[in-house]
Amino acid sequence: MPATLSLSEDTIQRLAPDSGAVAAARGLLKKNSFLDAAVSADQTWLLGRCKGSGKQPYEVSVDMADPSSPTCRCNCPSRKFPCKHGLGLMLLYLQSADTFSQREPADELLAKRDKKTAREQKKVEGGEPAPRKVNRAALAKKASAQRDGLDLLEKLVVDLVSGGQWFEETRLDKLERQAKQLGDSYLPGAMYVLNRLILTGREEGLADDERMARASDLIGHLWATVQKGRNYLDEKIAGDESQAEADAAVEDVLGKVWQLTELKEKNYWRTSLSLLELAYERIDDAARQQRIETSHLIELGDGTIYQAITYRPFKGMKQIAEQPSFTQALMIAESAVYPGFLNRRVRWDKAAEQAEELKPAHWKKVYALARPEFKTALEAFRQQLKHPLAPREAVLLLRCERIGKIGDAVVLEDAAGMRIEAVDQRKDYSNTANLVRAAGMLGKDRPALLVRLIVRPATNTIAAYPLAALTAKHHLRLGL
């Protein structure tokens, strides 16, 4: 029997379009659905048939020519890729490789592999992609709608603050209707902020000063949107703003959707990224009506914290694949790095991704990359806050000298004695409770914490929402 291919459960999890597919694949194994499982002599093909709901078993194959990025093929009608049958065949091989006989793939499969290789080769040799076609008429129409939208937003915000009592139910109902109009004007960013304001107005159990401070923050954001939005439409940049900052804000304000080619053209692009996921978050955002899945990744070269993000609207969530969570180190040949602030979004083509098994050296490296002093992190965060449209939060890796409690507050302290309070952001789950537990295990080893720094409007203090804790030997994820 051939030796085990370089395949791991982590690879299978990474390839899966969603966790349901892995669970379904496990179900196939439980039901003994696979027939004639085989592996090729050169160990680069897994072949098998799988009993399904169709008359004939499905023909399943996994091309392992690139073991970190296997290609699954199956003749089932599933729209998921890879389907549960491909994932199941890999799981079966992981579980019981010795039950696989030896068989060679059909010529048809070999031809498909050759075609794929040729396609990839062509991509490499092809050089620069053809220039994008721009539909100028459509762009002009959109810009005109956005201008009208900004006029509407201006009127709406002025009206909102002039009369006061913005939190009354009748005002909130009116705002709700107006927020929808903004969505029609291609101003999704403003619509989300307005929705958040409505939710803040309606939130039960919120202290008045907290409600007012939050509202002040959101209304300030809306007014900045009005002011900057027109400039961005005219492609003007204010004196205190860099091109990168403007590009980042454009995404938020005008709902710009960046294409990979466009990012490359503008040099928002990096090669040879070495990434490792420190935390993964799934947030259902009622204001955006989206599930936001974020993989927080550290670049092992320079310690930058990047974010791979997938936005999945509640309506039609199943049509969009989940953001993968990575349990292996990733070598990314080339990746788009969106314009942004402290945490920039990254996106790459699956073909550019190579996975590597995690080793203790990885954690040693990550631990060494943590910021030893809170001061520099806070300075960088405050700098970000100076831009009126920048996110009011930033994810950073901080080394803590001590983690302890003062009364009920959980407090992080650096070597210089500077302290930040750890707080929760979710009502239904406590990352801080998990941090207390983790600190009981790692506290003596001066752990590094991946935290999201946030400003608490009512008290105007910066607090840390813990996402992960690590030392040179351990890594604990703290939230969902």
Partner 1 sequence: MSREQLLGLAADVDRLLAAGATAAAGHDGLARRGRTLRELGQKVAALASVADTVERVVSSSPSEAGRVFLDLVVMTRQIRGSLAAVGVEGTLQTMEASGPWQTPMPTREVNNIHESLMGESSSSDLHDAAERQVAGDLRLLPSALAALESKKLSIADTVADNVLPAVGCGVLPDLLNKLDIPKGKAADARRLRAICKIDSDLGADLVRKALSEGSPAMKIQALECLPDVGQPGEAEKTGLAMWKEKKKEVRVAALRALRKATGDESLEVLIQALRDDDWQIIQAAQQSLAELPHAKTTERLLYEVEQGLTALLSPASKPKKGATNAEKAREAALGMLQHVIAALGNRKEVKNSPAVKTLSDLRHHAEPVIRLHAVFALAKLGPEVKEVVPALIEAAADADLHVAEAAVNALSGMPPDKRETAIPALLERIADSKCHQHTVYNILRMLPAHMPRFGDKILERMRPLLKGKDDYVRSGAHYALSAIGPAARKLLPEILEAIKTGWVCLNCNEIFVNIEPEGTTAIPTLIDLLKERNRQVRAYALQGLASYGPKAQVAEPLVAQLLKDRDGTVKYNAERTLAAIKGEM
Question: Among residue numbers 279 through 298, which ones bind partner 1 (CB under 8 A)?
Answer: 280, 282
* Segment holding 110, helix H or strand E: helix 107-125
Applying CB under 8 A, the span of 114-122, 127-135, 198-206, 460-468 interacting with partner 1 comes to 460-468
The least CB distance from residue 455 to partner 1, in Å, is 5
The least CB distance from residue 420 to partner 1, in Å, is 5
| Tokens at 421, concatenated | 């309070």
* Segment holding 70, helix H or strand E: none
Binding residue (CB under 8 A) for partner 1 from 51, 223, 333, 352: 223
351 binds partner 1 (CB under 8 A): no
Residue number, 110 or 458, with CB nearest to partner 1: 458
Q: What is the DSSP string of 397-443?
A: EEE-SEEEEETTEEEEE-TT--EEEE----SS--HHHHHHHHHHHHG
Quote the crossing angle between the two packed helices 136-163 and 169-184, to the nearest 10°. 170
| Tokens at 56, concatenated | 């004939």
Integer angstrom CA distances of residue 120 from 16, 23, 81, 397, 430: 22, 31, 19, 37, 45
166 binds partner 1 (CB under 8 A): yes
- Within residues 17-36, the interface with partner 1 by CB under 8 A covers 18-20, 22-23, 26
| Tokens at 463, concatenated | 């607090």
Binding mask 325-344 for partner 1 (x = CB under 8 A): x-x-----------------
119 binds partner 1 (CB under 8 A): no
Asked if 34 and 49 touch (Cβ cutoff 8 Å), the reply is yes
Residue number, 22 or 64, with CB nearest to partner 1: 22
158 binds partner 1 (CB under 8 A): yes
Binding residue (CB under 8 A) for partner 1 from 28, 76, 400, 439: 439
419 binds partner 1 (CB under 8 A): yes
* Segment holding 340, helix H or strand E: none
Binding residue (CB under 8 A) for partner 1 from 87, 157, 332, 449: 157
Give the three-class secondary structure for 9.
helix
- Within residues 377-416, the interface with partner 1 by CB under 8 A covers 378, 382, 385-386, 388, 392, 402-407, 409, 411, 413
Binding residue (CB under 8 A) for partner 1 from 45, 338, 348, 374: 374
167 binds partner 1 (CB under 8 A): yes
310 binds partner 1 (CB under 8 A): no
367 binds partner 1 (CB under 8 A): no
Binding residue (CB under 8 A) for partner 1 from 159, 265, 334, 373: 159
Residue number, 53 or 135, with CB nearest to partner 1: 53
Integer angstrom CA distances of residue 80 from 31, 115, 480: 21, 22, 24
Torsion of CA 187, 190, 194, 195, to 10 degrees: 60
Count CA atoms within 13 Å of residue 369 on its CB side: 22
The least CB distance from residue 338 to partner 1, in Å, is 22
- Within residues 65-94, the interface with partner 1 by CB under 8 A covers none
Angstrom distance (rounded) from CA 57 to CA 36: 11
The least CB distance from residue 226 to partner 1, in Å, is 8
